[in-house]
Amino acid sequence: MAETSGTRVGIVMGSRSDMAAADKAVVVLTELGVESEVRVISAHRAPALLTRYAESVAERRIGVLIAIAGLAAHLPGVLAAQTTVPVVGLPMPGGVMDGLDALLSVVQMPKGVPVATVGVGNAENAALLAAQILAVGDPQLAERFAARRAAAARQILDDPANEGL
Ligand code: RP5
């Protein structure tokens, strides 16, 4: 595994039913040598706990938050409102609109409190974006990120379907 950077990513989800997405994000972050912690905190069912968590972000060495939520999906915005640490919002599929509701809720933040929103259920992109944000102040992480990109490009270039191109 790559050597870890000092700052961590806090992954918060609205329900334990979002755990598979959190696990996926942890795998990608670990591959990049980024430590993370995972919490289950609903903005609707445990708002006071969410506030306590938001207030503890600095002492937890957290440089970026990933907030995972489906349906009304208020968690990313409510978290972003209570910390200056950047929040990556991951809307989850499900419900009558299968994630479109969560996507619009997460992306349509009013001015002043942004949430950097990735595609519905796209935990890998949430983790990659969080790592990129941390990499701005961490040249070694930036190198590991660039190496991952290069490997992804190589996969396409080496695809047998592209032989001779
Ligand atoms: C949101 O509602 C959660 O983030 C989850 O995606 C969705 C469904 O939650 P559960 O009914 O599984 O607790 O709060």
pLDDT in tens, 134-159: 999 999 999 999 999 999 999 999 99
pLDDT at 133 over 70: yes
User: For residue 70, is it within any domain?
Assistant: yes
The model carries a pTM of 0.95
The predicted structure's pLDDT at residue 6 = 75
User: For residue 3, is it within any domain?
Assistant: no
Atom from ligand 1 closest to the CA of residue 45: 14
User: For residue 115, is it within any domain?
Assistant: yes
The predicted structure's pLDDT at residue 5 = 54
pLDDT at 58 over 60: yes
Three state DSSP letters for the chain: CCCCCCCEEEEEECCHHHHHHHHHHHHHHHHCCCCEEEEECCCCCCHHHHHHHHHCCHHHCEEEEEEEECCCCCHHHHHHCCCCCCEEEEECCCCCCCCHHHHHHHHCCCCCCCCEECCCCCHHHHHHHHHHHHHCCCHHHHHHHHHHHHHHHHHHHCCHHHCCC
pLDDT in tens, 62-91: 999 999 999 999 999 999 999 999 999 999
Place of tokens 């490009």: 153
Whose Cα sits closest to atom 12 in ligand 1?
Answer: 17
User: For residue 1, is it within any domain?
Assistant: no
User: For residue 2, is it within any domain?
Assistant: no
pLDDT in tens, 4-35: 557 899 999 999 999 999 999 999 999 999 99
User: For residue 65, is it within any domain?
Assistant: yes
What domain range includes position 118?
8-162
Dist CA 117 CA 114 (whole Å):
9
The predicted structure's pLDDT at residue 100 = 98
The predicted structure's pLDDT at residue 164 = 92
The predicted structure's pLDDT at residue 152 = 96
Whose Cα sits closest to atom 9 in ligand 1?
Answer: 15
Number of domains in the chain: 1
* Distances 154 to 33, 151, 158, 162, 164 between C-alpha atoms, Å: 21, 5, 6, 12, 15
Whose Cα sits closest to atom 5 in ligand 1?
Answer: 70
Å from CA of 13 to ligand 1 middle: 9
The predicted structure's pLDDT at residue 7 = 82
CATH code of the domain containing 45? 3.40.50.1970
